[in-house]
Chains A and B, each alone.
Chain A
Amino acid sequence: MRRLVWAAALVVGVAPALAAQGSTGELLAQAHQFYERLDVERALPLLRQIVSPNWPFEVTPDQRVDAYKYLGACLALAGKRDSAVLYFRAAIERDPFTELDPSLFTPAQLATFDEARHRTLAVAVRSVKPARVDPRTARVTFTVVATHAALVDVKLVAVGAASPLVLFQGTMDGVREIAWDGLLANRRLAPPGRYTLAVVGRSRVSGAADSARVYFDVRHEVAALEDTVPDLDQHQLLPEWISPEAARRDVAKGVGVAAAALLIAGAANGSLHGSERGGADVVAATAAVTGVVAFLVHRRHGAIPENVAANARHRAQRDSANAGVRARNADRIAATVLLVSPAAGEGTGP
Chain B
Amino acid sequence: MMIAMIAGAIWGGVAPATAQSALTVAPLVSLAEHRVDAGFGVERSLGPVVGGVGTLRFGPRLAVAVRALGGSLFGSKGVLDRDVGELGVEGSMVAGPWLSLQAGVARRAYATRVARQTWTTVAAGAAARVAFAGGAIHGVGRAALLPVVSVPGLPDPGVAFRAAAGLEYRIRGTTLGVEYSLERYDFPIEGGVRRLEQLTALTLLLRLRPQ
Contact = CB atoms under 8 A, between A and B. Distances in A.
Nearest to B35: A272
A247 B182 contact: no
A148 interface: no
Interface stretch (A65-73, A222-230, A279-287, A322-330): A279-287
Interface stretch (A13-21, A31-39, A159-167, A256-264): A256-264
Contacts of A254: 132, 139
Range, interface on chain A: 35 or more
Contact of A275 (B35, B133, B141, B178): B35
B166 A278 contact: no
A74 B136 CA distance: 105
A257 B141 contact: yes
A273 interface: yes
Interface string B120-154: 00000000001011111101110000000000000
Interface string A305-325: 011000000000000000000
Contacts of B36: 272
A298 B136 CA distance: 12
B165 interface: yes
A279 B201 contact: yes
Contact of B167 (A242, A264, A273, A287): A287
Interface in A249-275: 249-250, 253-254, 256-257, 260-261, 263-265, 267-269, 271-273, 275
29 contacts: A249-B133, A253-B130, A253-B132, A254-B132, A256-B139, A257-B139, A257-B140, A257-B166, A264-B163, A264-B164, A264-B165, A268-B184, A271-B194, A272-B198, A273-B42, A278-B202, A279-B180, A279-B201, A280-B202, A282-B180, A283-B166, A283-B178, A290-B167, A291-B132, A294-B134, A294-B137, A298-B134, A306-B135, A307-B135
B37 A290 contact: no
B137 A290 contact: yes
B164 to A, nearest CB: 7
Interface in B177-199: 178-182, 184, 186, 194, 196, 198
Q: State the majority secondary structure of interface residues on B.
A: strand
A272 B180 contact: no
A246 interface: yes
B29 interface: no
Report which residue of B31, B179, B182, B186 has the largest number of chain A beta carbons within 10 angstroms of its beta carbon. Answer: B182
Given A275-B33, A290-B137, A294-B132, A282 B198 contact: no
B46 interface: yes
Contact of A267 (B130, B182, B202): B182
A264 B198 contact: no
A101 interface: no
B200 interface: yes
User: In this complex, which of B42, B166, B167 has the most chain A Cβ atoms within 10 angstroms of its Cβ?
Assistant: B167
B146 to A, nearest CB: 14
A306 B184 contact: no
A276 interface: yes
Contacts of B186: 269
A283 B167 contact: yes
Contacts of B136: 306
A304 B135 contact: yes
A273 to B, nearest CB: 6
A306 to B, nearest CB: 7
Contacts of B33: 275-276, 279
Contacts of B196: 269, 271-272
A275 B33 CA distance: 8
B180 A261 contact: yes
A157 B180 CA distance: 84
Given A269-B196, A294-B137, A283 B165 contact: yes
A260 B143 CA distance: 11
A254 B134 CA distance: 14
A302 to B, nearest CB: 9
A113 B178 CA distance: 110
Nearest to B128: A260
A178 to B, nearest CB: 66
